[in-house]
């Protein structure tokens, strides 16, 4: 069965000839003869093949995608684009187009097949360690105030207009992205915003699309298991600012990495400083000069100084300095994409709640604490989340958190240190253990906690994430705030290779329905 993702395709796509594709990209044709053979779609997933597709088979971490070429052909694939190693695995009766790097060519080929749909939309991409999702939703709010219909793609969902499906990853594979661009245009969207992960940039998932505007939020420790070190992580992020990938950019220069990106960018960039009084503010194109962080218990007011020196009153609908940064970046990105500045400011201020990003699930009152869900899953993101919540917490700050398995192990004790320093009550639990022993992950976090609190005062451990949330609610009083971090919007929890349906918000709401007396 084709996945929901595989069905997100435009109606009546162009019909392309396999031999024309070979000529356009100077590809050698091997295997069966291709003259006159046509295709109407491109996919990298054999399970998403539709009759008439071109199947792109790329080498994987464990097996070569061409091992699934027979399955793809049985589903109706008319040809395979792969490398020399993959060609030997393709059935003899299927035409093979040869290229040294099929992954790098997947996006450009899909764009060519669909007549370059990205060129018919205003396109924006946002990268960075933290803030990508929030910023893209803020940008989309501004674009919706200017266009009749928009699309937003990212970690939470793939949405065109009001139609959405769950997203499988932060940035979809290149052929899927091109199909979504074509479908968005077909449905009348005028603009599309997507999150662009470092993995996507390293793996070429956005090749074939030249963005009108791209943005950079920050660079903080994450994904070092993939990139090796911070230098490698930065180099992959910077790929988004290559001339073939984007026309212009907007860079937040609050950290050294942002300032370096702005200095080294080969495309024109505007810079945004969001820390009031910071040295870089004087030279930044845009700067936040005043900010009241979370004083209304919900969002933050700030003043954005423009390149002409004019002051612009603005508002972030979410609390904390991090969301002032996200809102300011979104306003400047939207303006760069053609949205009038005042329209962008008003739209960002009124942006609706973002799933799993400082999401208020249970409001304070009737004996209940304020209950929040946030995706913060890196040390820096956790710092920003806790600092954002502290000003709106009359009582104690209760934190439920963990850390992912099969990912950067070095950040686990750091997460523990951050939680112990900035929260009052800690409940350490599991995030997505994946193939690792959950107890060993918790132990690494608790080792960091002990560095700050040797006696482990007000520190608890729970082997079930749902139980951890219930424990936190039981421990919290009406003036306290409970924040659950790490998974945000995620609809599943991966344990020992099995994906279990699970969502932090649902656990909160179930406990709210049961009543506080059931938590005792």
User: Model confidence over 460-508: pLDDT tens digits?
Assistant: 999 999 999 999 999 999 999 999 999 998 999 999 989 999 999 999 9
| Mean pLDDT, all residues of the chain | 93
pLDDT at site 393 = 94
DSSP codes, 211-233: EEEEEE----S--HHHHSSHHHH
Q: What is the DSSP string of 484-502?
A: EES-TT--EEEETTEEEE-
C-beta separation of 250 from 272 below 8 A: yes
For residue 48, pLDDT over 60 is answered with yes
Secondary structure of residue 302 in the 3-state scheme: strand
Write the CB contacts of 380 (distance below 8 Å, at least 6 apart in sequence): 129, 130, 218, 220, 221
Distance of alpha carbon 327 from alpha carbon 350, whole angstroms:
11
- Would you say the C-alpha torsion 307, 313, 318, 322 has a positive or negative sign? positive
Percent of the chain at pLDDT above 70? 96
Q: Is the pLDDT of residue 4 over 80?
A: no
Residue 226 has pLDDT above 70, yes or no: no
72-107, pLDDT tens digit by residue? 999 999 999 999 999 999 999 999 999 999 999 999
- What does the pLDDT read at residue 17? 95
**Range from 114-123, 223-232, 443-452 carrying the lowest mean pLDDT:** 223-232
Is residue 286 very low, low, confident or very high in pLDDT (cuts 50, 70, 90)?
Answer: very high
Q: How high is the pLDDT of residue 382? A: 95
| Start and end residues for every CATH 3.40.1190.10 domain found in the chain | 117-349
Superfamily of domain covering 16-113 = MurE/MurF, N-terminal domain (3.40.1390.10)
Three-class DSSP labels, 231-260: HHHHHHHHHHHCCCCEEEEEEECCCHHHHH
The mean pLDDT value for 345-364 works out to 92
Q: Is the pLDDT of residue 237 over 70?
A: yes
Name the more confident of 81 and 171: 81
- What residue spans in the chain does CATH classification 3.90.190.20 cover? 359-519
Q: Are 431 and 377 in contact (CB under 8 A)?
A: yes
Angle, helices 341-349/321-336, rounded to nearest 10 degrees: 140
SS3 176: helix
From the annotation, which residues make up the binding site for ATP?
A: 128-134
Does an H or E element contain 31, and which?
Answer: strand 28-31
The pLDDT score that the predictor gives to residue 227 is 54
**pLDDT range class, residue 3, cuts 50, 70, 90:** low
Indicate the burial class of 262 (C-beta count within 10 angstroms; 0-12, 13-18, 19 or more).
buried
Greater pLDDT, 354 or 175: 175
The label of the residue with tokens 């046509």 reads 38
For the domain made up of 117-349, give the CATH fold. 3.40.1190
Residue-by-residue DSSP string for 304-343 = EE-TTS-EEEEEESS-SHHHHHHHHHHHHHHHHTT--HHH
What pLDDT, in 10s, does the model give residues 239-251?
999 999 999 999 9
CA distance 511 to 166: 25
Apex CA 265: angle with CA 99 and CA 184, to 5°? 60
Assign a CATH topology to domain 359-519: 3.90.190
Share of the chain above pLDDT 90, in %: 82
Residues near 332 by Cβ (< 8 Å), separated by ≥ 6?
Answer: 215, 250, 270, 272, 285, 286
Question: Which residues does the annotation place in the binding site?
Answer: 46, 128-134, 170-171, 197, 205
pLDDT at 1: 46
Closest residue by Cα to residue 470 from 398, 376, 367: 398
Q: Where in the chain do CATH 3.40.1390.10 domains reside?
A: 16-113
């Amino acid at each position: 069965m084709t996945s929901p993702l595989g069905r997100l395709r435009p109606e009546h796509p162009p019909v392309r000839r396999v031999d024309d594709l070979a000529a356009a990209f100077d590809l050698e044709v091997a295997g069966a003869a291709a003259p006159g053979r046509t295709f109407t779609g491109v996919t990298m997933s054999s399970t998403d093949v539709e009759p008439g597709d071109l199947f792109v088979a790329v080498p994987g971490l464990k097996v070569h995608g061409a091992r699934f070429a027979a399955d793809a052909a049985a589903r109706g694939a008319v040809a395979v684009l792969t490398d020399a190693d993959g060609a030997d695995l393709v059935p003899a009766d299927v035409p093979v187009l040869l290229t040294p790097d099929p992954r790098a060519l997947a996006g450009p080929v899909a764009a060519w097949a669909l007549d370059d749909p990205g060129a018919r939309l205003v396109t924006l991409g946002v990268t960075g360690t933290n803030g990508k999702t929030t910023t893209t939703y803020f940008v989309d709010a501004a674009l919706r105030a200017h266009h009749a219909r928009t699309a937003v793609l990212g970690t939470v969902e793939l949405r065109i207009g009001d139609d959405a499906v769950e997203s499988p990853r932060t940035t979809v594979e290149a052929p899927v992205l091109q199909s979504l661009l074509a479908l968005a245009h077909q449905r009348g969207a005028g603009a599309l915003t997507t999150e662009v992960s470092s993995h996507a940039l390293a793996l070429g998932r956005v090749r074939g699309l030249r963005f009108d505007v791209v943005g950079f939020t920050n660079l903080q420790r994450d994904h070092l298991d993939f990139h090796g070190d911070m230098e490698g992580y930065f180099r992959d992020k910077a790929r988004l600012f290559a001339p073939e990938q984007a026309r212009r950019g907007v860079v937040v220069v609050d950290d050294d990495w942002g300032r370096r990106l702005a200095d080294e960018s080969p495309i024109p960039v505007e810079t945004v400083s969001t820390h009031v009084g910071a040295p870089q503010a004087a030279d930044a194109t845009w700067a936040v000069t005043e900010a009241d962080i979370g004083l209304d218990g919900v969002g933050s007011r700030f003043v954005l100084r423009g390149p002409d020196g004019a002051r612009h009153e603005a508002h972030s609908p979410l609390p904390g300095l991090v969301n002032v940064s996200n809102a300011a970046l979104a306003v400047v990105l939207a303006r760069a994409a053609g949205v009038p500045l005042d329209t962008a400011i008003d739209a960002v201020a009124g942006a609706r709640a973002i799933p799993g990003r400082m999401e208020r699930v249970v409001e304070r009152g009737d004996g209940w604490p304020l209950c929040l869900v946030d995706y913060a899953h890196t040390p820096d993101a956790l710092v920003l989340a806790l600092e954002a919540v502290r000003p709106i917490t009359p009582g104690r700050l209760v934190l439920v958190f963990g850390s992912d398995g099969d990912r950067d192990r070095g950040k686990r004790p750091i997460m523990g240190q951050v939680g112990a320093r900035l929260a009052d009550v800690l409940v350490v639990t599991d995030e997505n253990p994946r193939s690792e022993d959950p107890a060993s992950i918790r132990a690494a976090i608790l080792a960091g906690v002990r560095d700050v609190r040797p006696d482990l005062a007000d520190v608890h451990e729970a082997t079930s994430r749902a139980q951890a949330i219930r424990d936190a609610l039981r421990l919290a009083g009406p003036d306290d705030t409970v924040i659950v971090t790490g998974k945000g919007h995620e609809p599943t929890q991966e344990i020992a290779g099995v994906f279990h349906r699970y969502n932090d918000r649902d656990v909160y709401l179930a406990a709210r329905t049961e009543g506080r007396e059931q938590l005792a």
